[in-house]
Amino acid sequence: MNPETLRTADNPDQEAPPRWSFEAALELFESPLNDLLFQAQTVHRRHFDANTVQASALLNVKTGGCSEDCAYCGQSAHHQTGLERERLMRVDEVTKAARRARDQGSTRFCMGAAWRAPSDHQLDLIAEMVGAVKAEGMEACATLGMLTGDQAERLKQAGLDYYNHNIDTSEEFYGNIVSTRAFSDRLETLGHVRDAGIRVCAGGIIGMGEARADRVGMLLTLANLPEPPESVPINLLIPIAGTPLENVAPPDSFEMVRTIAAARIMMPRSYVRLSAGRETMNDELHALCFLAGANSLFIGEKLLTAANPDEERDRDLFERLGLSLEAPESDAGG
């Protein structure tokens, strides 16, 4: 079940991150739930405070009308979801939202745009927003679609801390979900982000009708990247009316727990984010996901277009579970 540890070519004494085989990852994923949770919690405690979660906030700075055909997404122009297309937000609107998110306890502010890929002009406008978020003392994250190497550099210069770009599912299942781009396009952008020195946020979605082997395949791709992502969002599909996935049967809840636990074990130093879909999860499932090693989430009553638990419900849950929100880096004493 253990991954193979490689030695780096240029320094044979230094261990490269372990590479997982599909068989080892599947065996891990399918182990008895108690064993999986025990291992995940053990690994988690080696690298993180087990009772602290990092909180990010989302703001959709450009809503709807996207030219991609992602089957899960309410913002694709290919689906009739009734979502109204909106213009790119102004910087002062973004600043206001960032301030509010910071006051609610978020340390990172993530700006999303319904684009296949930004133009250079659009990127300049986003760069300004990044500056405004940083000026409020928050980490800045963006998710804008595909980037060129130069665009990633531009965002790095603007002060962007993280870039989110999900691989969504396994390479094998990808064609069932998106036809307007290839899995390799996603990996290419992730490479540009990494090369520019921006921290990588990449994960995927559970519950799109994929098989367990696809969940394992998705984690395998992420864990075996040259460097694993610093942040791994695991989303539970929010079925959106008008999208091709609106009637997909929800997965067994334990598949979500297993995916988080396997992500924790396969990427021990990464933040694993319990991401979209929390609104329909009960408190007990939240608790199991934290036990499985989730240590990050989105707070605030809205994700990009869909609902998230309100502040009060989350505050009550954290209190009952004895969880604290991670302090901003400057307060954490380094």
Angle between helices 283-291 and 33-47 (to 10 degrees): 60
Binding mask 191-230 for ligand DTB (x = CB under 6 A): ------------x---------------------------
Nearest alpha-carbon partner for 231 in 51, 48, 25, 18? 48
Contacted entry of ligand SF4, ligand SAM, ligand DTB, none for residue 76, CB cut-off 5 to 8 Å set by kind: ligand SF4
Task: Please give the C-alpha separations between residue 188 and each of 24, 101, 145, 183, 193, in angstroms, as whole numbers.
Answer: 26, 31, 12, 9, 9
Contacted entry of ligand SAM, ligand SF4, ligand DTB, none for residue 165, CB cut-off 5 to 8 Å set by kind: ligand SAM
Whole-angstrom Cα distance, residue 112 to residue 99? Answer: 17
Q: Does the protein bind ligand DTB through residue 305 (CB under 6 A)?
A: yes
Whole-angstrom Cα distance, residue 263 to residue 299? Answer: 21
Cβ proximity to ligand SAM, 98 vs 240, nearer residue: 240
Contact range with ligand SAM by CB under 6 A, out of 118-126, 215-223, 234-242, 321-329: 234-242
Residue in the block written with tokens 């290919």: 78
Contacted entry of ligand DTB, ligand SAM, ligand SF4, none for residue 24, CB cut-off 5 to 8 Å set by kind: none
Find the binder of ligand SAM among 20, 29, 109, 115 (CB under 6 A).
115
110 carries an active-site annotation? yes
Cβ proximity to ligand SAM, 154 vs 165, nearer residue: 165
| In the complex, minimum distance from the CB of residue 130 to ligand SAM, in angstroms, rounded to a whole number | 15
66 carries an active-site annotation? yes
Contacted entry of ligand SF4, ligand SAM, ligand DTB, none for residue 31, CB cut-off 5 to 8 Å set by kind: none
Residues contacting 34, CB < 8 A, separation 6+: none
Helix (H) or strand (E) holding 53: strand 52-62
Whole-angstrom Cα distance, residue 206 to residue 292? Answer: 16
Supply the residues annotated as catalytic. Answer: 66, 70, 73, 110, 141, 201, 273
